[in-house]
C-alpha cells in the first residue's frame, strides 16, 4: 500500500459522507469494520472472503450474545466497504446469509374476572 493512498477506514468515512449517511452511522460502520478487521488478525478485507464474513456474526451471537438486529447492522457495515470502497462484487457476496429476528409472541392479558 503506497503512502499516498488513504487508509481503508478513511476511505470508508469518505464513501459514507459522499452518500450523505449520518455522522452516527459513519461512526457505527467504522467501529464495526474496525472490529471485523481486528477479529480477523488485522487482515485487510480484500484478503478475506465469505468464510470470514460469516464467522464474524456467529462470533457476535455466540460470544457477545448480540441480537439479530445487531448482527444485521454489523453485516451491513462489513459489506458496505466491499461494495462501495473496494468495489468488489464477487459472487459469494450475494450469498451471505443475514439473521432473521426472533418472533416474539405478544403478551395478552386475560380479561378481569
In sequence order, what DSSP letters do the residues of 61-104 get, joined into one string?
HHTS---HHHHHHHHHHHHHHHHHTS----GGGGGPPPPPPPPP
pLDDT digits (tens, 9 = 90+) for 7-56: 999 999 999 999 999 999 999 999 999 999 999 999 999 898 888 888 89
Residue 83 contacts residue 16 (beta carbons within 8 Å):
no
Per-residue confidence band for 74, with pLDDT thresholds at 50, 70 and 90? very high
Q: For a pLDDT cut of 90, what percent of the chain falls above it?
A: 40
pLDDT at 102 over 70: no
Residue 58's pLDDT is: 86
Contacts of 13 (CB under 8 A, 6+ apart): 26, 30
Residue 93's pLDDT is: 62
Residue 17 contacts residue 26 (beta carbons within 8 Å):
yes
Q: How far apart are CA 15 and CA 54, in angstroms?
A: 24
Per-residue confidence band for 108, with pLDDT thresholds at 50, 70 and 90? confident
Please give the helix or strand (H or E) that residue 113 lies within, else none: none
> Could you give the angle at which helices 68-84 and 8-18 cross, rounded to 10 degrees?
90
pTM beyond 0.85, yes or no: no
Amino acid at each position: 500500500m503506497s503512502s499516498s493512498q488513504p487508509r481503508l477506514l478513511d476511505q470508508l468515512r469518505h464513501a459514507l459522507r459522499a452518500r450523505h449517511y449520518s455522522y452516527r452511522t459513519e461512526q457505527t460502520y467504522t467501529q464495526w469494520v474496525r472490529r471485523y478487521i481486528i477479529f480477523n488478525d488485522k487482515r485487510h478485507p480484500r484478503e478475506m472472503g465469505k468464510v470470514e464474513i460469516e464467522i464474524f456474526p456467529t462470533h457476535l451471537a455466540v460470544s457477545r450474545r448480540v441480537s439479530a438486529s445487531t448482527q444485521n447492522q454489523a453485516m451491513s457495515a462489513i459489506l458496505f466497504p466491499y461494495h462501495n470502497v473496494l468495489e468488489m462484487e464477487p459472487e459469494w457476496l450475494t450469498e451471505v446469509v443475514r439473521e432473521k429476528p426472533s418472533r416474539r409472541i405478544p403478551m395478552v392479558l386475560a380479561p378481569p374476572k
